[in-house]
Amino acid sequence: MVTLGHYLIVSGILFAIGFAGVMLRRSLIIIFMSLELMLNAANLSLVAFSRFHVQPSGVPDYNAQVFVFFIITVGAAEVAVGLAIIVALFRARQTTHVEDINTLKF
Amino acid sequence: MKSALPWYALLLPLVSAGAITLFTHRLKTLSSLISVAAVLGSFLCSCLIFGQKGLSAPELKWIDFGTVFTVPFGFVLDDLSRMMLVLVSGIGALIHIYSLGYMRDDEGKSRYFAALSLFMFAMLGIVLANNFVMLFIFWELVAFTSYVLIGHWFERDAAADAANKAFFTNRIGDFGFMLGILLVWMSTGSVVFADIAPRLSILTSHPAFLTIAALLIFCGAVGKSAQFPLHVWLPDAMEGPTPISALIHAATMVAAGVYMLVRVGFIIQASPSALLVIAWIGTISALLAALIATQQNDIKRILAYSTISQLGYMMIAVGLASNEAAMFHLFTHAFFKALLFLGAGSIIIMLHHEQNIWKMGGLARHLPITFLTFVVGALALIGFPLFSGFFSKDTILALAYDHNMPIFVVALFTAFLTAFYILRLVVVVYFAKPRSDAARASDESPLVMTGPLIVLALLAWLGGYGFFARHFLAIPHEKELLLIVPVLAITAMILGAGLAIALYRNRTSEPIEVDLLRRLFYIDESYRWLIHWTQELLASISAFFDRWIIDASVVRGVSGGTWGIGALLRLIQMGNLQAYAFLFGLGIVALIYFAVFR
């Protein structure tokens, strides 16, 4: 029997993988993909909440799914903007490696 | 009976001052005539007011905060103020006329007469004021016009400095005066004299408070009447034109202090300790000024110190709780001191602004009218029998003899000194041979100047007689005829006069030099020293505060603190994108922790 806990554990693992990717990988593209993974981890837990929070009439709680739609929309917009920034950065610096992009310091 | 006469008397000079300033500034002769006409009109109104007892004037509501603070613009028309009204406008009129001659060729004639008119307005305002606020405002206005007139020849540094000195010194006294008024208002809730009198018991139930209030009010009189320790401005004020010295700095304005004390006498007389202080300040001033006067060489300065000394006598009378004696001496002094100053002015103008008595000499033959009138003034001043000063000074001496023996002794000695210094002046200026070309070539002044001299000489002679003075003021009656006082006074006077004549006959320079007196008891110098060091001290304190408190801890503290915190914070700006992301994540965790779990 798959319970809410299982879903949440998977979601947590996905989130941790995404976070580790953001922290540890050096390529901006990979970092970006890891960010998306973290968003989707959140989506997964929200869908699971929706599924397991059933109303007395037997209908799932759609509030959580509305959140998921929001996150997908925002994520799409973010990808559009983020990829454009990365392309612009590559044109300016000929690199997408974060260790080469370190001028944001004192 | 209601009458608008006091309003006319008060406002005519103001109209004149306004008209001269606004319209006739370029027409000098017209300006002077407007001013003289205004003061004559004022004098006429004053005489009419004087003739009608029980007159009252319509009152204006001026400041009205209900029961808290109400100041009417009203007049008090009792015997005292009616007498002062005639005295001030009468002497004012004479001096206006005299000024026509004295200021004949002056560049700033219009300015002079405008200021003179404004002074008449202010002085009449002081005399008529029926409350403290009005009195104080006119009091300040008088100080201002005095400032303008002392500094009339402002292109001379000495005149400009003297004007400033007079103004500042008066300011010190007036500050105390204002505090005194506030104290009285605070306790009785009124500034109108007539309303304070019935509520006096509130004050008398707190003797210490009353004494402080009375002494603070007295501060104003000390400044205005040039009493020790604020007397330093009056001799310097002699830099102004001589008619000004006569009118403002001898006959009227400096007497305003005494008048004010008499006006509020009911407050002051409720405090015996304040009275004692006033009497002693008067005694000290009288003695000090008379001592200094014996060693001065400037004819006007001698008269200025003499004024301080005579005002000291009036203060003694006030301090011995005899308003009548104070007003009597004020009344006679106004005549003979104005006369002496105008006589000095007549000499000064005929000797082309020479004021050193050692450059005069032998003037009795050249200026006979001036000489005769001056001698009348001098005799009145020293209290020669049958001249006005004899009666009034004798009253004060008798009063002191009755009430306070030490004061009597000092006052008697001052009478001796008075005779000494004024006879020295007369002998040096009018007798022996002329000691300068100007003195040899001098001639009698024109009628416009000698006319007022003659009128004043008559008044200085007759002013003290009962048949004359009785119409103007209540002459104090001695309880029993004290023969000893006049005898002592006349002896002192004859001794002083004889000594002066013996010492100064046929001298061409000062035979005795007393540095202490010549240098004015070092009072001016010690004030200069005091002001210098107070200023230095304040400056160094504020410099220390600025350098070590504001600069070191506040300004440098803020900048150093900001810099230090910045240096610490820049350590975490390592430039690694992922480190920022990590910190960002930590931040979110912290936020969630605080938002959800706390």
Cβ neighbours of residue B446 closer than 8 Å, sequence gap 6 or more: B101
Name the residue facing B578 among A23, A105, A106 (closest C-beta): A23
pTM value is 0.77
Contact B581 A23 (CB under 8 A): yes
- List phi, psi (to 5°) of B459: -65, -40
Q: How far away is chain B from the Cα of A29, in angstroms, using its nearest Cα? A: 13
Tell me, what's the pLDDT at B592?
93
Residue A84 included in any domain = yes
The tally of CA atoms less than 13 A away on the side-chain side of residue B465 is 9
Query: Do B275 and B320 form a contact (C-beta atoms < 8 A)?
Result: yes
Residue A65 included in any domain = yes
CB-count exposure of residue B55 (10 Å: 0-12, 13-18, 19+): middle
Q: How far away is chain B from the Cα of A1, in angstroms, using its nearest Cα? A: 31
| pLDDT above 80 (res B54) | no
Across chain B, mean pLDDT equals 87
Contact B578 A105 (CB under 8 A): no
Name the residue facing B570 among A24, A101, A106 (closest C-beta): A106
A52: contact with B, CB 8 A cutoff: no
Reported as a single tens digit per residue, the pLDDT across B121-170 is 999 999 999 888 999 999 999 999 999 999 898 888 889 999 999 999 99
- List phi, psi (to 5°) of B145: -65, -35
B580: contact with A, CB 8 A cutoff: yes
CA distance B289 to B226: 10
Residue A61 included in any domain = yes
Name the residue facing A98 among B570, B577, B582 (closest C-beta): B577
Tell me, what's the pLDDT at B478?
56
- Which residues on chain A are in Cβ contact (under 8 Å) with B586? none
ipTM of the complex: 0.72
Name the residue facing A22 among B574, B575, B578 (closest C-beta): B578
Which chain A residue's Cα is nearest to B582? A23
Average pLDDT value for residue range B28-33: 87
The tally of CA atoms less than 13 A away on the side-chain side of residue B10 is 21
* Highest-pLDDT range among A7-11, B7-11, B186-190: A7-11
Classified as helix, coil or strand, B109 is helix
Q: Which residue of B565, B572, B578 to mutate against A (max A Cβ within 10 Å)? A: B578
| pLDDT above 90 (res B536) | yes
- Which residues on chain A are in Cβ contact (under 8 Å) with B578? 22-24, 31, 98
Domain count, chain A: 1
Cβ neighbours of residue B5 closer than 8 Å, sequence gap 6 or more: B45, B48, B49, B55, B57
Neighbours of A64 (CB within 10 A): 18
- By mean pLDDT, which of B28-37, B357-366, B405-414, B476-485 is the weakest? B476-485
Average pLDDT value for residue range A61-84: 92
Name the residue facing B575 among A23, A24, A105 (closest C-beta): A105
Contact B575 A104 (CB under 8 A): yes
Query: Do B239 and B185 form a contact (C-beta atoms < 8 A)?
Result: no
| pLDDT above 60 (res A106) | no
B581: contact with A, CB 8 A cutoff: yes
Which chain A residue's Cα is nearest to B578? A23
B588: contact with A, CB 8 A cutoff: no
| pLDDT above 80 (res B93) | yes
| pLDDT above 60 (res B479) | no
Residue A105 included in any domain = no
Average pLDDT value for residue range A78-82: 93
Neighbours of B71 (CB within 10 A): 21
| Residues B77/B457/B397/B408 CA torsion (nearest 10 deg) | 120
- Which residues on chain A are in Cβ contact (under 8 Å) with B563? none
Q: Which residue of A32, A85, A104 to mutate against B (max B Cβ within 10 Å)? A: A104
- Which residues on chain A are in Cβ contact (under 8 Å) with B582? 23
Which chain B residue's Cα is nearest to A99? B576
From the DSSP assignment, how many helices (H) and strands (E) are in chain A? 3, 0
CATH number for the domain that contains residue A91: 1.10.287.3510
Tell me, what's the pLDDT at A14?
95
| pLDDT above 60 (res B560) | yes
Which chain B residue's Cα is nearest to A100? B576
- Which residues on chain B are in Cβ contact (under 8 Å) with A24? 578
A98: contact with B, CB 8 A cutoff: yes
Reported as a single tens digit per residue, the pLDDT across B296-319 is 888 888 999 999 999 999 999 999
Classified as helix, coil or strand, B409 is helix
Name the residue facing A22 among B570, B575, B581 (closest C-beta): B581
CA distance B93 to B246: 12
CA distance B368 to B313: 31
Tell me, what's the pLDDT at A43?
94
| pLDDT above 60 (res B522) | yes
Q: How far away is chain B from the Cα of A57, in angstroms, using its nearest Cα? A: 31
Q: Among residues B346, B311, B529, which one has the least CA distance to residue B442?
A: B346
Tell me, what's the pLDDT at B477?
65
Would you say the C-alpha torsion B415, B421, B424, B426 has a positive or negative sign?
Answer: negative
A94: contact with B, CB 8 A cutoff: no
Q: How far away is chain B from the Cα of A60, in angstroms, using its nearest Cα? A: 26
Contact B578 A24 (CB under 8 A): yes
Contact A23 B582 (CB under 8 A): yes
Q: How many CB pairs under 8 A join A and B?
A: 26
A102: contact with B, CB 8 A cutoff: yes
Q: How far away is chain A from the Cα of B579, in angstroms, using its nearest Cα? A: 7
Residue A106 included in any domain = no
Residue A38 included in any domain = yes
Contact A103 B575 (CB under 8 A): yes
- Which residues on chain B are in Cβ contact (under 8 Å) with A19? 585
With a pLDDT cut of 70, the percent of chain B lying above it is 99
Average pLDDT value for residue range B9-13: 90
Would you say the C-alpha torsion B196, B200, B205, B209 has a positive or negative sign?
Answer: positive
Average pLDDT value for residue range B413-442: 85
- Which residues on chain B are in Cβ contact (under 8 Å) with A104? 573, 575, 577, 580
Q: How far away is chain A from the Cα of B598, in angstroms, using its nearest Cα? A: 23
Residue A26 included in any domain = yes
Sorting pLDDT into bands at 50, 70 and 90, what band is B52?
A: confident
CA distance B116 to B148: 9
Average pLDDT value for residue range B99-111: 85
Tell me, what's the pLDDT at A83?
92
Name the B residues in 537-576 with CB < 8 Å from any A CB.
Answer: 570, 573-576
- Which residues on chain B are in Cβ contact (under 8 Å) with A102? 575-577
| pLDDT above 60 (res B396) | yes
DSSP state of B189: S
Contact B577 A19 (CB under 8 A): no
Which chain B residue's Cα is nearest to A32? B578
A42: contact with B, CB 8 A cutoff: no
Angle in degrees, CA B37, B42, B48, rounded to 5: 130
Tell me, what's the pLDDT at B561?
92
Q: Please state at what angle helix A4-24 crosses helix A28-52, rounded to 10 degrees.
A: 170
Average pLDDT value for residue range B472-487: 71
Q: How far away is chain A from the Cα of B558, in angstroms, using its nearest Cα? A: 22
Q: Which domain holds residue A78?
A: 4-100
Name the residue facing B577 among A19, A24, A101 (closest C-beta): A101
